[in-house]
Amino acid sequence: MRRRSFLALTGLAGLTLAGCAGAEGNEGTLSFRNPLRIPPVLDPAPGPDGVKRFALRLQEGRSELRPGKHARTWGINGDHLGPTLRARRGDRVAMTVTNTLGEASTLHWHGMRLPAAMDGGPHQMVEPGATWSPEWNVDQPAATTWYHPHPHGRTALHVYRGLAGMFLLDDENDAAGLPHEYGKDDIPLIIQDRKFTEAGELDEDFGGTFGLLGDDVLINGTYDPYFRVTTNQVRFRILNGSNAHVFAVGFADDREFHVVASDAGLLSRPVAVSRLRISPGERFEIVASFEPGEQVLLKGFPGRDEIEDGAYDLLKLKAASRLAPSASLPARLAVLAPPADGERTRSFKLYGSRINGEPMDMARIDEVVPAGAREVWELDNITFSHNFHIHEVVFRILDIDGDRPPEHLRGPKDTVYVPGKTKIRVAVEFGRHTDPKNPYMYHCHILKHEDKGMMGQFVLVPPGTEDTTPRRLDLSRHAGHH
């Protein structure tokens, strides 16, 4: 059955169209007058106890997002967005997250493998005026991860106002042959679509099936941006930090570029593509080549689904007349074992804003998983576009509607786009931090869907204790940090 026929039969066609009203893009409207803002790096030296301590402050601010107009925004250690955090595998990191906002929030370390009590999900709320102090050991390969709020029912608003930042993890394998000088040839790109009022304030109307789909785009909080290229090759760490929009990223001249990493780390080898589809919460690292003196546009091209509507000019790349030479891309990047066979299969039906027909219940444990398990999770989307993020884990895509994924989607991931009427199977590798009383989340990362309840919870427990683990939580234990 064709997808639109299915939507009409289920009465969802009108809802889906409502989700994209006004999302026409910004193509041809920019002059690329503003240098791309590069978020400052927060990479503290370890203290005498060997711990790297990061101080983060959630705060209100005002930002000139549109020229000559100021908007009320939120930021982390500043008026809008947050610093790029940096750590290495083996580091002990300690955060102090102080909330100076007028309402409770959280910070979730998206892509980080860590104990559930440190995860920053909706059970770790930080009340106004309070400080939360999670601490953990970084024990995962180099990756582009990020951090953002996760308050149940309010995530869309908190991220949209500006609470987000990158968290880069390094290890001994990452820098070999890849551009790695931050701000020069290793560039973060946080892509976020927005709508503005006539006065230049953020439009916070999250109506429609998908919530807000905006015609303007900020890159690292910069409107109308350009970047001056000074090296032959540039590595871009692309994060779709939007609430809902899915972008098909590529260059205006259709040049090929190489994907070198996905959410959770390096691919086995560079993969040449000319388009890269990226949904909210996903990250890809790409390496692009430039010639002296040339200018080229990085664009978001219209896609097949309503959530991909609109043509976007994202960033103008202006190459200097002389470019410093870059090392050749390595033929091999990482040794990736084949996806492990699943010890069991769990099925998740995505429908409307429900998973398996259930809305999110903060006290209900939906799945109990033995620590260290290898499982297959089957994601069956029977309605309009969704995506799926699992906290703590790394997974590999096994197949999309029975077909093997394209090569750039065969690497380590934690978030995957699941278009309407699509079934995707992923091989999930769970961690070993057991805690029967603090859950991890899995959810759609289209933030309106997440806020409406398209989320479930799982706990990791010692193997053999799954059947005796309580399926209800005592929420008084999760009353928030005061």
Stretch among 340-349, 411-420, 427-436 having the lowest mean pLDDT: 340-349
Token pair of 344 as six digits: 């069991």
**How far lies 405's CA from each of 87, 376, 402, 409, 426, in Å?**
31, 15, 9, 6, 11
Angstrom distance (rounded) from CA 283 to CA 264: 8
DSSP annotation of 117 reads G
Burial of 253: CB neighbours in 10 Å, binned 0-12, 13-18, 19+: exposed
Stretch among 13-17, 303-307, 375-379 having the lowest mean pLDDT: 13-17
Report the pLDDT averaged over residues 226-241. 98
Angstrom distance (rounded) from CA 408 to CA 31: 32
Evaluate if residue 5 carries a pLDDT over 70: no
Q: In which band, very low, low, confident or very high, does the pLDDT at 15 lie, cut at 50, 70 and 90?
A: very low
With beta carbons less than 8 A apart as the criterion, state whether 153 and 360 touch.
no
| Helix intervals (H) in 66-116 | none
217 CB neighbour count, 10 Å cutoff = 25
The predicted pLDDT at position 481 comes to: 62
Q: Are strands 233-240 and 186-194 parallel, antiparallel or unpaired?
A: parallel
Q: Percent of the chain beyond pLDDT 90? A: 89
Residue 306 phi/psi, 5-degree rounding, is -55, -35
3-state secondary structure of 257: strand
Per the DSSP assignment, residues forming a β-bridge with 32 are none
443 CB neighbour count, 10 Å cutoff = 26
Which residue would you say has higher pLDDT here, 7 or 224?
224
pLDDT per position as a tens digit, 310-360: 999 999 999 999 999 999 999 999 999 999 888 999 999 999 999 999 999
The predicted pLDDT at position 479 comes to: 60
DSSP string, 190-222: EEEEE-B-TTSPBP----STTS---SEEEETTE
Report the pLDDT averaged over residues 266-278. 97
Of the spans 20-24, 208-212, 447-451, which averages the highest pLDDT? 447-451
CA 300 to chain centre: 17
The predicted pLDDT at position 16 comes to: 34
Question: Global pTM?
Answer: 0.94
Average pLDDT of the chain is 93
Angstrom distance (rounded) from CA 432 to CA 429: 10
Q: In which band, very low, low, confident or very high, does the pLDDT at 456 lie, cut at 50, 70 and 90?
A: very high
Q: Are strands 165-170 and 84-88 parallel, antiparallel or unpaired?
A: parallel
The predicted pLDDT at position 342 comes to: 87
Evaluate if residue 18 carries a pLDDT over 80: no
Report the pLDDT averaged over residues 465-474. 96
Q: In which band, very low, low, confident or very high, does the pLDDT at 114 lie, cut at 50, 70 and 90?
A: very high
Q: In which band, very low, low, confident or very high, does the pLDDT at 12 lie, cut at 50, 70 and 90?
A: very low
Evaluate if residue 214 carries a pLDDT over 80: yes
The predicted pLDDT at position 305 comes to: 82
Evaluate if residue 9 carries a pLDDT over 60: no
CA 274 to chain centre: 21
